[in-house]
Amino acid sequence: MKKGIQGILLMILLWTGLFVSSDVVSAEDGSALKRVQDEGVLVVGTSADFPPFEFYAEVDGERQVVGMDMMIAQKIADDLGVELEIQDIGFDSLLPALEARNVDIVIAGMTPTAERRKSVDFSEIYFKTFQNIMVRAEDEEVYTSLESLKGLPIGVQSGSLQEGLAEQIEDAELMSLTNLSDLLLALKTNRIEAMVMQGPNAEAHAGNDEDLHTFVGAFEMEDDDAGSAVAFRQGEDSLVAAVNESLAEIAEQNLTDEYLAVAGEYMAQSEDSEAEESGFAANYWDYFWDGTSITLLISAVSVLVGLILGFILALMRLSKSLVLKGLATAYVEFVRGTPLLIQVMFIYFASGLVVNLPALAAGIIAVSLNSGAYIAEIIRGGINSVNKGQEEAARSLGMSKKEAMRHIIFPQAVKNIWPALGNEFITIIKESSIVSVIGVGELIFQTRVVRSISFQGILPLFVAMLIYFALTFTLTKLLNFYEGRMNHD
Amino acid sequence: MIKVNHLKKSFGKNVVLKDLNEEVSQGEVVVVIGPSGSGKSTFLRCLNLLEEPTGGEIVFEGTTLTGLKEKEMNQLRQKMGMVFQQFNLFPHKTAKENLTIAPVKSKGVNQMEADNKAVKLLDQVGLGDKADAYPASLSGGQQQRVAIARALAMDPDVMLFDEPTSALDPEMVGEVLKVMKDLAKSGITMIVVTHEMGFAREVADRVLFMDDGYIVEQGTPENIFTQPAHERTQDFLAKVL
Ligand SMILES: Nc1ncnc2c1ncn2[C@@H]1O[C@H](COP(=O)(O)OP(=O)(O)OP(=O)(O)O)[C@@H](O)[C@H]1O
Ligand SMILES: [Mg+2]
């Protein structure tokens, strides 16, 4: 058992070694640019809850990530002569995804702060911006300056430039959340008094929500902190140079104004569809439907794969071989002793170093590996719960260990395993929401998207909650039905 | 047919069988009696290797049962039927399936043949009409009769019984003992651990008295029950008779 754990630790060390060395090794000789052009695809990471820079909208009946940054990305891809592929990932995970080679570059309204420059390289600044304070409309007269916010609870997006700027508000009590929609909801529900937000983004929100009011904050900023730039892995100078060329053209021709105007139209379009009054659920049904399908897909595949893996692990744990037993025990204990969140991120980022695994596949693999460990325990428990006399009776009739397991013990164990397996399925349906951190479009992820495009904080959460409940409740009833049919004694 | 030489068995520090020597010949019916904890069950379980002896040897039909390979052990067990105190029927199988599963899966008998034989054996134990019943719907006595038929379905040379009537309600003891008596008449070798002294007296060729890991005394039922030589045998019989 100790050996097994050491093996896993060693594996982790090797992986992390790869992380570190990959940063150092990439000596530049034009290979980065060549790689992108050879592959014919530029994979751009972004975090699509940031209008007017990146957000979802319907384009020719299809949902896409649009916005100023995406048009810049398209221009860069066109200039390079390659296809553009967008990957929507949580803002926090963007730079890890970049370093782990899940994406080629990051365009996400990202400010090239000194802190970030330690781990990645940046292009020239392509968009100068200002920073705003967002308050409730009713407080318009009360909060008019940074001074007026002294000592109050202030919300910022975690890991953002604004998090640093908020320190300039005297004695501010900072509340850092990953998600802007959550922060806006916190503001509207009086949990915080104000937020620091990127200027155009704050204006987009205030313009769409009469309960909000925003004004420019008089922050002291470094030059670098006053704009957005494209992020690269360190040392990929040829790619940086190529992108800078495209950015220079954009600046020359003032294309950002044009791009922002187009983004504004998309935002207006999503408002229009709201104005149709066809109801919230009808408007965003597609998002919830997609999310539900993916949640079910992840859960079903993970339970199936987990079942096979769990079965093998359970047999290993019940076997006489100390090596097999130790390996299986180490695996089960390790997986059960670490959070699924970390496993998901680990698989996604670590796999990015070797093969470019789509986020959905990485998510399914992580959840499957995780459920395998839990299902192994369920199966083992089910087998152990079969009366010892059953095995003895079978063996006394001359059945081999294998035959006794297959014909006598396992069929009885299934009756104990089945309900627990059903519970595991239900758990996975709920827990699989964790894969939203790597940008898999399951139900929680889509809920986040709906919150950002509908400018509604609570209603999407409520709808998601109802869907989850409908899924788990139906499943429970279904399982009870089959469980009832299995009992003939 | 079965020869036991200096058989020893301990569980950790607990020495349960200290030094057993015994020989059972073809067709003999041997009844084992003795106080609780004296090692009777352990003795039976050592005979068909459900427990691995820690010392001594057992010779069965000319084969020494130590250091056998897994496969040889399975073949050997096919020749020794065992009936348990708790029946241990397979609850997910009907009575008939309980009888056919091992012959079909382990012995390679074809299903039809096994089915026919199962029906016959169930008839023999008086349960011809219960072939398709699941164990849970049978009484204790009926379950134990199915269990006896199940062991017989493998065509064993020896039948081992470990207190087959101890878990039964008193009114059901008779039906099981009757099946066992019929079986004894058929000439099969039997080793029976039981507290049913009436059965021992009537059916046994020989009675063994075990205490504290030894076979203290043995002889015909006549001898053991009417003039036991050892004080411990006398004490025990005084309590149970
Ligand atoms: N698997 C085991 N592990 C450890 N000790 C055991 C095991 N099986 C039996 N024993 C011990 O061996 C001793 C003899 O047990 P055994 O079941 O053979 O007695 P018995 O004569 O059959 O008694 P009873 O009349 O109560 O059935 C007891 O002390 C018991 O605790
Ligand atoms: Mg016993």
ipTM confidence score: 0.94
Residues A221 and A135 grouped into a single domain? yes
Residues of B (129-168) whose Cβ lies below 8 Å from A: 134-137, 147, 150-151, 154
Residues A235 and A149 grouped into a single domain? no
Residue nearest to atom 2 of ligand 1 (CA): B11
Task: For residue B224, list its beta bridge partners.
Answer: none
Picking from A239, A255, A276, the residue at the C-terminal end of a domain is A276
Q: Which residues of A touch B90 (CB under 8 A)?
A: 390, 393-394, 408, 412
Q: Answer whether A139's CB lies under 8 Å from A215's CB.
A: no
Residues A175 and A65 grouped into a single domain? no
CATH number for the domain that contains residue B176:
3.40.50.300
What tokens appear for B180 in the block?
């066992």
Q: Is the pTM of this model over 0.90?
A: no
Q: In what order do the strands lie in the sheet with A131-136?
A: A173-177, A153-157, A194-198, A131-136, A212-216
- Residues 6 or more apart whose CB falls under 8 angstroms from that of A376 comprise A309, A310, A311, A313, A314, A317, A328, A332
Question: Is A489 in CB contact (< 8 Å) with chain B?
Answer: yes
Residues A328 and A378 grouped into a single domain? yes
Distance of alpha carbon B52 from alpha carbon B68, whole angstroms: 11
Residues A458 and A353 grouped into a single domain? yes
Ligand 1 — pocket residues by CB below 6 A?
B 11, 14, 16, 34, 36-42
Q: Are B137 and A392 within 8 A, CB to CB?
A: no
Domain count, chain A: 3
Domain count, chain B: 1
Query: How deeply is A271 buried, as exposed, middle or buried, from its count of CB atoms within 10 A (0-12, 13-18, 19+)?
Result: middle
Task: For residue B17, list its beta bridge partners.
Answer: B9
Distance of alpha carbon A40 from alpha carbon A82, whole angstroms: 5
Residues A222 and A344 grouped into a single domain? no
Residue nearest to atom 1 of ligand 1 (CA): B11
Looking at residue A272, its pLDDT comes to: 58
Residue by residue, DSSP assigns chain B as -EEEEEEEEEETTEEEEEEEEEEE-TT-EEEEE--TTSSHHHHHHHHTTSS--SEEEEEETTEE-SS--HHHHHHHHHTEEEE-TT----TTS-HHHHHHHHHHHHS---HHHHHHHHHHHHHHTT-GGGTT--GGGS-HHHHHHHHHHHHHTT--SEEEEESTTTTS-HHHHHHHHHHHHHHHHTT-EEEEE-S-HHHHHHH-SEEEEEETTEEEEEE-HHHHHHS--SHHHHHHHHHH-
State how beta strands B55-60 and B2-11 pair: antiparallel
Residues A217 and A233 grouped into a single domain? no
Min Cα separation A390/chain B (Å): 6
Distance of alpha carbon A29 from alpha carbon B190, whole angstroms: 88
Q: How many A from CA of B36 to the centre of ligand 1?
A: 8
First-residue to last-residue Cα distance in chain A: 40
Q: Are A394 and B70 within 8 A, CB to CB?
A: no
Distance of alpha carbon A469 from alpha carbon A473, whole angstroms: 6
Closest Cα partner for B102 from A404, A409, A411, A391?
A: A404
Distance of alpha carbon B118 from alpha carbon B94, whole angstroms: 11
Residues A331 and A189 grouped into a single domain? no
Picking from A241, A276, A311, the residue at the C-terminal end of a domain is A276
Q: Is the dihedral of CA B89, B92, B95, B97 positive or negative?
A: negative
Looking at residue A26, its pLDDT comes to: 45
What tokens appear for A386 in the block?
């079969």
The dihedral formed by the CA atoms of A372, A374, A377 and A378, expressed in degrees to the nearest 10: -100
Taking the CA of B43 as reference, the closest ligand is: 1
Residue A211: Cβ within 10 Å count: 12
Q: How many A from CA of B37 to the centre of ligand 1?
A: 5
Distance of alpha carbon A38 from alpha carbon A442, whole angstroms: 32
Question: Is B237 in CB contact (< 8 Å) with chain A?
Answer: no
CATH number for the domain that contains residue A235:
3.40.190.10
Q: How many A from CA of A220 to the centre of ligand 1?
A: 84
Distance of alpha carbon B95 from alpha carbon B127, whole angstroms: 9
Residues A48 and A94 grouped into a single domain? yes
pLDDT tens, chain A, 489 aa long: 444 455 455 455 445 545 444 444 445 678 889 999 999 999 999 998 888 899 988 888 788 899 999 999 999 999 999 999 999 988 888 998 999 899 999 999 999 988 899 999 999 999 988 899 999 999 999 999 999 999 999 999 887 888 889 999 999 999 888 888 889 988 988 989 999 999 888 998 888 888 999 999 999 888 777 789 999 999 999 999 999 999 999 999 999 999 999 988 888 776 655 444 456 767 788 889 999 999 999 999 999 999 999 999 999 998 889 999 999 999 999 999 999 999 998 998 888 777 878 889 999 999 999 999 999 999 999 999 999 999 999 999 999 999 999 999 999 999 889 889 989 999 999 999 999 888 888 999 888 888 877 777 788 899 999 999 999 999 999 888 887 777 654
Residue of A nearest to B78 (CA): A398
Picking from A193, A226, A259, the residue at the C-terminal end of a domain is A226
Phi-psi region of B17 (alpha: psi -120 to 50; beta: other; left: phi over 0): beta
pLDDT tens, chain B, 241 aa long: 999 999 999 999 999 999 999 999 999 999 999 999 999 999 999 999 999 999 999 999 998 988 888 899 999 999 999 999 999 999 999 999 999 999 999 999 999 999 999 999 999 999 999 999 999 999 999 999 999 999 999 999 999 999 999 999 999 999 999 999 999 999 999 999 999 999 999 999 999 999 999 999 999 999 999 999 999 999 999 988 7
Q: Are A489 and B91 within 8 A, CB to CB?
A: yes
Encode burial over A447-463: b for 16+ CB neighbours within 10 A, e otherwise: bbbbbbbbbbbeebbeb
Q: In what order do the strands lie in the sheet with B55-60?
A: B14-24, B2-11, B55-60, B63-64
Residues A194 and A287 grouped into a single domain? no
Taking the CA of B33 as reference, the closest ligand is: 1
Looking at residue B43, its pLDDT comes to: 96
Residues A451 and A341 grouped into a single domain? yes
Pocket probe mutation, ligand 1, options B11, B52, B208, max atoms within 8 Å of Cβ: B11
Looking at residue A187, its pLDDT comes to: 92
Atom of ligand 1 nearest to the CA of B51: 1
Amino acid at B35: P
Closest Cα partner for B39 from B83, B7, B71?
A: B7
Residues of B (41-70) whose Cβ lies below 8 Å from A: 48, 50, 70
Question: Is A434 in CB contact (< 8 Å) with chain B?
Answer: no
The residue range of the domain holding B233 is 2-238
Q: Which residues of A touch B88 (CB under 8 A)?
A: 387, 389-390, 392-393
The dihedral formed by the CA atoms of A269, A271, A276 and A282, expressed in degrees to the nearest 10: 100
The residue range of the domain holding A113 is 2-124+229-276
Interface test with A, best of B90, B132, B148, B158 (most A CBs within 10 A): B90
Q: Which residue has the tokens 């937000």?
A: A197
Q: How many A from CA of B168 to the centre of ligand 1?
A: 20
Q: Which of A389, A400, A415 sits opposite B106 (nearest CB)?
A: A400
Taking the CA of B208 as reference, the closest ligand is: 1
Q: How many A from CA of B36 to the centre of ligand 2?
A: 7
What tokens appear for B213 in the block?
């890991």
Residues A313 and A258 grouped into a single domain? no
